[in-house]
């Protein structure tokens, strides 16, 4: 579950709600050349169909406008199946060479007995604590 009162980013596609909470990880960062953020993702199936997360695609942009695309099967080595009403959570991380950036993406979802679809991952900002929150 998203921690009570924690600010989060959210998007919904075809009954799949994606929520993201971001936090800076100072113990893994080495300013001024390495900054690391952890992001916790919660997927909630509000549809009436069983859904499986098949793959992911991320677009990561640093403060200098450099873009990196990351694609692959599942998330954190899993391809979770969510029955109607179920949720799934995972945590991952993103290192950047700049003190801010942004991420956005999609999950490829298979629908039991139906068509697959691309679910939106909301754009979210990677910012140092205390800095102004901006989507680059």
pLDDT at 60 over 90: yes
Burial label, 72 (beta-carbon count in 10 A; 0-12, 13-18, 19+): exposed
The domain that holds 87 is classified in CATH as: 2.60.40.1470
Q: Of 21, 15, 26, which is closest to residue 2 (Cα–Cα)?
A: 21
Q: For residue 134, tell me if it sits in a domain.
A: no
Number of domains in the chain: 1
- pTM of the shown model: 0.92
pLDDT per residue as tens digits for the range 73-128: 999 999 999 999 999 999 999 999 999 999 999 999 999 988 999 999 999 999 99
Domain hosting residue 28, numbered range: 9-127
Residue 14 is classified by DSSP as T
Mean pLDDT score, 58-78: 97
d(CA 7, CA 103): 16
What pLDDT shows up at residue 136?
A: 47
């Amino acid at each position: 579950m998203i921690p009570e009162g924690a600010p989060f980013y959210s998007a919904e596609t075809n009954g799949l709600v994606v929520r993201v909470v971001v936090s800076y990880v100072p113990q893994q960062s080495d300013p001024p050349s390495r900054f690391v953020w952890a992001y916790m993702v919660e997927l909630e199936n509000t549809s009436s169909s069983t859904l499986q997360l098949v793959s992911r695609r991320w677009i990561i942009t640093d403060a200098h406008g450099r873009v990196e695309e990351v694609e692959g099967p599942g998330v954190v080595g899993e391809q979770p199946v969510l029955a109607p009403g179920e949720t799934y959570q995972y945590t991952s991380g993103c290192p950047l060479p700049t003190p801010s950036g942004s991420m956005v993406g999609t999950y490829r979802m298979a629908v039991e007995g139906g068509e697959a679809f691309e679910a939106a991952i909301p754009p979210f900002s990677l910012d140092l604590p205390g800095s102004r929150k901006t989507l680059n």
